[in-house]
């Protein structure tokens, strides 16, 4: 039986959701506080438009899943409202910008017996999935250290007249730009024991309310140490999104701009990764590009979970872990 979807927040990423949910059902309703945005998306998919989430949820429209595509600072509020209304929720990254809000979202899903999915589409990048499987199977032996580099460009035009760059709705560069990368650290290496960090706002003092670059030192519970170096000050364009792993049986670097290329591997016999399938392209938003466009796989998994009893690829507890780690980085940087 095809699913019935609604989208709350009709900005750029909502267009991707609307497109990729089509094989699995219909877009019944859309919602945005800017009527023109809601009406435009509704017209394209023959959906009904609403101008507040309250009116959408009170409409009685037959909706199975609500995709939350609103600003970061509204994710918790909107997800909880949809869960309480008896709908499953697919929440864009980050899950929220406070771990306390994440816990309330998880509780709302449990109380109302609904599923809460979190979008972490970089997990589907072919080299990312292949390396994670190697680590999970302990094929690389002991892992010694890791290095995560996130070198992107977000200029003043990106933040102009937007919720992005505000502390209340955006939360910080690690939330909006690089939460996918932080998610992979937990997915690969587990819980973090110790964090130290330094962050500054070097080039966006008149544009954003938080840091635009940072350096982080991590020690994981299992003894692995690592670094995160991140910036949105790469000149003119994105430069790199990479994760390098130094282990007992090999060194591997997943690189490219978006962790989408197996850039380097020197491993023991039998561990060579080969014949990786081609990945999807990055999300192109006209003046800039974002993370990989794997929302098709996100919706494939959602459909499998809801209709066929499949396993959720990214659950809410894992979404919470990302937020907790980012909170701890920012707390460490403030000392």
Residue 62: predicted pLDDT: 93
Q: Please determine, for residue 231, whether its predicted confidence score (pLDDT) is greater than 90.
A: yes
Residue 52: predicted pLDDT: 98
Residue 137: predicted pLDDT: 97
Cβ proximity of 151 and 230 under 8 Å = yes
Superfamily of domain 122-291: Dihydrodipicolinate Reductase; domain 2 (3.30.360.10)
Residue 291 banded pLDDT, cuts 50, 70, 90: low
Q: Please determine, for residue 293, whether its predicted confidence score (pLDDT) is greater than 90.
A: no
Burial of 98 per CB tally in 10 Å (0-12, 13-18, 19+): middle
Residue 84: predicted pLDDT: 98
pLDDT digits (tens, 9 = 90+) for 192-209: 999 999 999 999 999 999
Residue 277: predicted pLDDT: 81
Residue 32: predicted pLDDT: 98
What is the mean pLDDT of the segment spanning 233-256?
Answer: 97
pLDDT digits (tens, 9 = 90+) for 140-193: 999 999 999 999 999 999 999 999 999 999 999 999 999 999 999 999 999 999
Angle between helices 75-84 and 99-111 (to 10 degrees): 10
Q: Give the pTM.
A: 0.94
β-sheet bridge partners, residue 231 = 151, 213
Residue 284: predicted pLDDT: 57
SS (H, E, C) the chain: CCEEEEEECCCHHHHHHHHHCHHHEEEEEEECCCHHHHHHHHHHHCCEEECCHHHHHCCCCCCCEEEECCCHHHHHHHHHHHHHCCCEEEECCCCCCCHHHHHHHHHHHHHCCCCEEECCHHHHCHHHHHHHHHHHCCCCCCEEEEEEEEECECCHHHHCCCCCCCCCCCCCHHHHCCHHHHHHHHHHHCCEEEEEEEEECCCCCCCCCCCCEEEEEEEECCCCEEEEEEECECCCCCCEEEEEEEECCEEEEEECCCCCEEEEEEECCCCCCCCCCCCCCEEECCCCEEEECCHHHHHHHHHHHHHHCCCCCCCHHHHHHHHHHHHHHHHHHHC
Residue 283 banded pLDDT, cuts 50, 70, 90: low
In CATH, the number for domain 3-118 is: 3.40.50.720
Domain edges within the chain:
3-118, 122-291
Q: Please determine, for residue 288, whether its predicted confidence score (pLDDT) is greater than 70.
A: no
Tokens of 33: 């506080």
Distance, CA of 68 to CA of 89 (rounded, Å):
7
Distance, CA of 234 to CA of 173 (rounded, Å):
14
Residues counted in the chain: 335
């Amino acid at each position: 039986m095809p699913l019935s979807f609604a989208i709350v927040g009709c900005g750029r990423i909502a267009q991707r959701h609307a497109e990729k949910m089509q094989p699995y059902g219909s877009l019944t309703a859309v919602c945005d506080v800017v009527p023109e945005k809601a009406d435009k998306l509704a017209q394209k998919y023959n959906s009904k438009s609403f101008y507040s989430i309250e009116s959408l949820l009170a409409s009685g429209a037959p909706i199975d899943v609500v995709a939350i595509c609103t600003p970061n600072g509204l994710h918790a509020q909107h997800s909880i409202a949809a869960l309480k209304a008896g709908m499953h929720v697919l929440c864009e990254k980050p899950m929220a910008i406070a771990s306390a809000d994440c816990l309330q979202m998880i509780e709302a899903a449990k109380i109302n017996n609904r599923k809460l999915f979190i979008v972490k589409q970089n997990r589907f990048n072919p080299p990312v999935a292949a390396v994670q499987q190697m680590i999970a199977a302990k094929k690389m032996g002991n892992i010694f250290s890791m290095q995560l580099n996130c070198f992107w460009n977000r200029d003043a035009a990106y933040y102009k007249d937007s919720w992005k760059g505000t502390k209340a709705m955006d939360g910080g560069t690690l939330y909006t730009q690089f939460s996918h990368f932080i998610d992979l650290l937990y997915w690969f290496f587990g819980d973090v024991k110790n964090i130290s960090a330094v962050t500054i706002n070097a080039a966006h003092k008149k544009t954003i309310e938080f840091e635009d670059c940072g350096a982080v030192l991590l020690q994981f519970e299992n003894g692995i140490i690592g670094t995160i170096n991140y910036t949105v000050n790469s000149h003119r364009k994105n430069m790199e999104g990479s994760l390098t792993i130094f282990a007992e049986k090999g060194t591997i670097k997943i690189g490219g701009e978006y962790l989408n290329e197996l850039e380097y591997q020197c491993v023991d016999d039998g561990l060579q990764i080969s014949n990786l399938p081609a990945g999807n392209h990055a999300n192109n938003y006209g003046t800039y590009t974002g993370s990989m466009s794997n929302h098709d796989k996100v919706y494939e998994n959602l459909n499998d979970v809801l209709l066929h009893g499949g396993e959720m690829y990214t659950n809410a507890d894992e979404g919470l872990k990302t937020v907790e780690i980012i909170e701890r980085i920012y707390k460490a940087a403030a000392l």
